């Protein structure tokens, strides 16, 4: 390398993608000793000067007593994190002549450094490994991330435990890549031990859960404490189809960028279930920050996001969910550009009927004023509630129900029907029913009989269904028909979809809503 200038390749994670970064290090014979960094390094990168000096010394090398200039290109992109420590240290050693036979070509080098010269695990290795594979290069990275990097097939892997290990890799004339263990197959993987047969009673709740899973519909529960809202929601991932490899790769990438993978973790094989606390901010829910990172919405990608005690979340936080729920992605705009995080989730929300939870259940125990109840309900805005395809008011399970209820179906039994229903949807229209709109909605989800059409018309007149609400009723009716293996959407499917659309409203108003078709039959 001429002993004065070294060039290495690294990568920076932007959103859920990795961008190649060129690291140039010059060791000059003139001027006062010191280290200068250019190329928009953030505070973490600038602080690497002290980490790199100490790590070089503790790894058994000598820090050059000359002026060191480090350039990170492209210069117009801000560099964030400690992943540049390792390439900077190796560049200094190479430029000072400490690494004979230096061979940096066709290698991406990433990793932080501890003061003792060791290379700790880092976040974002998976998208960086994918970028190295696209560039036709190998990857030098922390050894602790071997299982994660090994997910990318055909990538030469060179894990390093320390700065000394990484230096030895670069000077070896016959270096051989490490073979990573094969990633676990997501198909058939069930890490969640919760099973639906543990739910006693709540037949309507179980039915709503099955319909939601079959069509990937959003689900809203209302009911008193202990009615089983959380119990049902936590068993939803167990009746969903297993992740495909492509879905597992997307989920793992997001968790890698967010630093949510467990130590030594590889491919995520179970559908995510995220249940943030109601004190979570809007940034914690949808992502963002000065250096944008995925929020709970993206961490639940291809899985379930459960918002318990929905009215207790801040209004700003839950309103930010409206647009991402419709589009399956959240776009975070900043002055220097925008970042998109995927967020294709099933949303399940739950709330009590009043602040104390016992309104309409036990008049003696409920101490809430009517004004407090109205204010509590208004915290969940109409536009957000309108995005839930199924809404159900759960009654408390009695002691007798718990004692006499027969064992329900297992998650595996329900999952088999869900899988069959989804296969029908993909075979017919190439997408799940939750995505039906426009011409496809009219073609596949419109009732074929006059009774079903009349039911829809009466529901619009009686309940004031919005256009969005009508669309969601049709989608749910189509899913119910698919669960029955019915080619056509009939009146009974529409009636059940309307029941799950209006059940919580009926309970809230204290009314018994009935809809009659043109023949006088009451649904």
Based on the fold, state whether residues 10 and 118 are members of the same structural domain: yes
Based on the fold, state whether residues 213 and 102 are members of the same structural domain: no
pLDDT 10s digits, 84-140: 999 999 999 999 989 887 877 789 999 999 999 999 999 999 999 999 999 999 999
Question: pTM for this structure?
Answer: 0.89
Based on the fold, state whether residues 308 and 351 are members of the same structural domain: yes
Percent of the chain clearing pLDDT 70 (strictly above) = 92
Based on the fold, state whether residues 391 and 451 are members of the same structural domain: no
User: Which pLDDT value is given to residue 186?
Assistant: 65
DSSP labels for 303-350? SEEEESSGGGS-HHHHHTTHHHHHHSEEEEEETTEEEEEE---EEEEE
User: Which pLDDT value is given to residue 511?
Assistant: 43
Residue 516, domain extent: 436-523
pLDDT 10s digits, 390-403: 999 998 887 777 77
Q: Does residue 18 form part of some domain?
A: yes
Question: Who wins on pLDDT, 447 or 479?
Answer: 479
Q: How far apart are CA 287 and CA 298, in angstroms?
A: 8
Q: Does residue 419 form part of some domain?
A: no
User: Which pLDDT value is given to residue 43?
Assistant: 81
Peptide bond into 74 cis (omega under 30): yes
Q: Final residue of a domain: which of 349, 377, 400? A: 400
Query: 431: helix, coil or strand?
Result: coil
Q: Does residue 508 form part of some domain?
A: yes
Task: Report the CATH number that the domain containing residue 280 is assigned in CATH.
Answer: 3.40.50.300
Query: Mean pLDDT score of the chain, rounded to an integer?
Result: 88
Decide: 24 and 2 in contact? Cβ < 8 Å: no
Q: How many domains does the chain have?
A: 3
Based on the fold, state whether residues 213 and 346 are members of the same structural domain: yes
pLDDT 10s digits, 180-189: 777 766 654 4
Question: Which phi and psi (to 5°) does residue 78 adopt?
Answer: -70, 135
**Is pLDDT at 407 greater than 90 in this prediction?**
no
pLDDT band at 505 (very low <50, low <70, confident <90, very high): low
User: Which pLDDT value is given to residue 350?
Assistant: 95
Task: Report the CATH number that the domain containing residue 447 is assigned in CATH.
Answer: 1.10.8
Task: Report the CATH number that the domain containing residue 167 is assigned in CATH.
Answer: 3.30.230.10
User: Which pLDDT value is given to residue 517?
Assistant: 42
* Angle at alpha carbon of residue 322, lines to 316 and 323, rounded to 5°: 115
pLDDT 10s digits, 215-264: 999 999 999 888 899 999 999 999 999 999 999 999 999 999 999 998 88
**Is pLDDT at 521 greater than 50 in this prediction?**
no
Q: Final residue of a domain: which of 156, 171, 186? A: 171
Based on the fold, state whether residues 371 and 485 are members of the same structural domain: no
Based on the fold, state whether residues 162 and 291 are members of the same structural domain: no
User: Which pLDDT value is given to residue 185?
Assistant: 66
**Is pLDDT at 490 greater than 90 in this prediction?**
yes
Identify the CA nearest to 317 among candidates 295, 290, 339, 292: 295
pLDDT 10s digits, 25-84: 999 876 678 888 898 888 878 888 899 999 999 999 999 888 999 999 998 888 888 899
pLDDT band at 364 (very low <50, low <70, confident <90, very high): low
């Amino acid at each position: 390398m001429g002993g004065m200038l070294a060039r290495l390749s690294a990568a920076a994670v932007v959103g859920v993608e990795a961008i190649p970064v060129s690291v140039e290090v010059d060791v000059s014979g003139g001027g006062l000793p010191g280290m200068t960094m250019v190329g928009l390094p953030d505070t973490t990168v600038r602080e690497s000067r002290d980490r790199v000096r100490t790590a070089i010394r503790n790894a058994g090398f000598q820090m050059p007593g000359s002026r060191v200039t480090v350039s990170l290109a492209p210069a117009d992109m801000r560099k964030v994190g400690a992943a540049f420590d390792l390439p900077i240290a190796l560049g200094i050693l190479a430029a000072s002549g400490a690494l004979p036979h230096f061979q940096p070509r066709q290698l991406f080098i990433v990793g932080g450094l501890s003061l003792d010269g060791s290379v700790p695990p880092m976040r974002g290795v998976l998208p960086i490994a994918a970028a190295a594979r696209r560039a036709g290069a190998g990857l030098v990275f922390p050894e602790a991330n071997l299982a994660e990097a090994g997910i990318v097939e055909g990538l030469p892997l060179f894990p390093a435990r320390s700065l000394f290990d990484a230096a030895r890799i670069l000077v070896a004339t016959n270096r051989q890549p490490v073979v990573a263990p094969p990633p676990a197959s997501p198909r058939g993987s069930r890490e969640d031990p919760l099973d639906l047969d543990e739910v006693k009673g709540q037949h309507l709740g179980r039915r709503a859960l099955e319909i939601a899973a079959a069509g990937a519909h959003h689900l809203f529960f209302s009911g008193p404490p202990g009615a089983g809202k959380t119990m049902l929601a936590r068993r939803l991932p167990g009746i969903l189809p297993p992740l495909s490899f492509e879905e597992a790769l997307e989920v793992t990438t997001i968790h890698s960028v967010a630093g949510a993978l467990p130590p030594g973790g590889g491919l995520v094989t179970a559908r995510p279930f995220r249940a943030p606390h109601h004190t979570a901010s809007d940034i914690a829910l949808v992502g963002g920050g000065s250096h944008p990172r995925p929020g709970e919405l993206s961490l639940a990608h291809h899985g379930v996001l459960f918002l318990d005690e929905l009215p207790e979340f801040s209004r700003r936080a839950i309103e930010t969910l409206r647009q991402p729920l419709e589009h399956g992605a959240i776009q975070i705009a900043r002055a220097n550009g925008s970042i998109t995080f995927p967020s294709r989730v099933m949303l399940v929300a739950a709330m009590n009927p009043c602040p104390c939870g016992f309104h309409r259940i036990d008049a003696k125990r409920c101490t809430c004023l009517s004004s407090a109840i109205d204010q509590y309900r208004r915290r969940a805005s109409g536009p957000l509630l309108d995005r839930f395809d199924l809404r159900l008011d759960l009654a408390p399970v009695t002691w007798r129900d718990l004692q006499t209820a027969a064992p329900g179906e297992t998650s595996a039994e329900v999952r088999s029907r869900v899988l069959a229903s989804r296969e029908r949807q993909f075979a017919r229209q190439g997408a799940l029913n939750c995505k039906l709109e426009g011409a496809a909605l009219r073609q596949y989800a419109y009732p074929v009989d006059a009774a079903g059409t009349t039911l829809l018309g009466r529901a619009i007149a009686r309940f004031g269904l919005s256009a969005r609400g009508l669309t969601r009723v049709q989608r749910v009716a189509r899913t119910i028909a698919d669960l029955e293996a019915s080619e056509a959407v009939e009146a009974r499917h529409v009636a059940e979809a309307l029941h799950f659309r209006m059940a919580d409203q009926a309970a809230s108003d204290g009314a018994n809503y009935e809809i009659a078709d043109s023949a006088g039959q009451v649904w």
